[in-house]
Structure 1
Amino acid sequence: MPPLAETGKRVLARLVDWLVIAVPLAIIGIPFGVYDRVNEDSGDFGAVWTASAEGGQWAFQLITLVAYVAYDTLMTAKANGQTLGKRMTGLRVAMLNDGTTPPTGAALMRALVLWLPALICCACLWPLLLLILILVDKPYKQGLHDKAARTVVVSATQ
């Protein structure tokens, strides 16, 4: 088994992956009306865009959930355990028992536990909780998503 990933590299990889999906979704959100309401009461800082509670918002929320979960699942299962962020930082996801690339079922479980709570209800707290668990978990530095899928994040270079 390769050495476990450094926490800083894991955080950087996750930020890259978040941006890979968030930027296109921000553009795709325009026809769904997610930026239709503008709050002009923001003082000197200009207009603050807020999501509309219209029907388009619900459709866009579903698209967002599917995009994040599908991206993470497919890249983890089909790209040697590497999302674009992990590839950039020299990391990969591996099965805990033998170091192989996770199969689609394990990659899906990992993605669901990683993204659903963050996208549905706990956008600030869920990633923080996962980071704390990665920092304190011994000996494998697993977040809940890793424990659920029985995976670890390791260095892709040996």
Structure 2
Amino acid sequence: MSTDQPSPGSGEPPEHDPFLKKPQGPPEEGAPSSSSPSGGGTGGGGGGAPGGTPGGAQPPGGEPPPGGAPPPRYEGGPYGGSPYADNPYGGEYGAADPLAGMPPLANRGRRLVARIIDIIIIGVPVTLIMNVIVGGADYTSGSPTETGKQATVSGVTMLVYLVYEGLMLTNRGQTVGKMAMKIRVGMLANGAVPAGQAGWIRAAVYTLPEIVPCCGPIFWLVNVLWCTWDKPYQQCVHDKAAKTVVVSTA
């Protein structure tokens, strides 16, 4: 009587013997997995990522693959790349410099000379006129009367200087001293003239604290020296308050 099953002595091991059954290795590359319920992925090509995602395709959501290269660093500007390397706006990568396309920053020495010119133009005449009006202030005397005269002269001089600088900045971004030194004030965002509030804020932060006794002169000194260590835009405190920057016009 014949049988379809091989006998134990026919040279083929019985399938129920666990000691003689050869272990199965991993499936060959590209072969569909027998455990996959879709039988090799019905929605994508063979060799794709688990879940039916085609091989090499970007994961859903538009996010770059992990470990991908970062976006290129900004290299714009008309002066051979951005002249302000440590730009704090927008992070390390892909941040366009707000000053790209604008003239270079003004030299600190020219800014100082421009300020001296303005002080001479406004301060000297107003002080002389006020000394005539109040009858002359004796700066060597410590009497209350002379101290009051000094305060009046200084206060009026600062207010006149505030009006002068505010009007000049909001109309053309330059005072007489800045025109002489070929520099100007522009908005940090786009280089425009600081018309309106920005120009008056800049003039007020520079001028008004000087009227305050004792701490006013200290603030003024810190304010004007701030541009010597400020990076990358060389702003004084009044520049930061108004969000302006001083650039060259020549």
TM-score normalised per structure 2: 0.53
Aligned mates of 1:38, 1:5 — CA distance in 2: 36
- Matched residue pairs, number? 148
Once the two structures are superposed, what CA deviation does each residue of 1:103-147 show, in whole Å capped at 9, x if it has no partner?
A: 121111001110111233356433431233101111100011000
CA RMSD of aligned residues (A): 2.6
Greater RCO, CA 8 A, separation 6+: 1
Higher strand share: 1
Q: Is residue 2:136 matched to residue 1:35? A: yes
Contact 2:137 2:146 in 1 (8 A): no
TM-score normalised per structure 1: 0.80
Give the residue type in structure 2 aligned to 1:31: V
Aligned to 2:118: 17
DSSP 3-state at the match of 2:124: helix
DSSP 3-state at the match of 1:29: helix
Pairwise mapping of residues 123-134 of structure 1 onto structure 2 (< 5 A)?
124-134=217-227
**Which structure 1 residue ranges, 5 or more long, are not aligned?**
40-47
Contact 1:69 1:115 in 2 (8 A): yes
The alpha-carbon deviation at position 55 of structure 1 amounts to: 6.3
Aligned mates of 1:57, 1:109 — CA distance in 2: 26
Corresponding residue to 1:139 among 206, 216, 232: 232
DSSP 3-state at the match of 2:106: coil
The alpha-carbon deviation at position 56 of structure 1 amounts to: 5.6
Aligned mates of 1:51, 1:22 — CA distance in 2: 23
After superposition, the Cα gap between the structure-2 partners of 1:142 and 1:38, relative to the gap in structure 1 and judged at 3 Å, is closer
Corresponding residue to 1:5 among 96, 102, 106: 106
Higher helix share: 1
Q: Is residue 2:242 matched to residue 1:149? A: yes
**Which structure 2 residue ranges, 5 or more long, are not aligned?**
1-101
Between 1:113-122 and 1:55-64, the stretch displaced more is: 55-64
**Larger gyration radius, structure 1 or structure 2:** 2
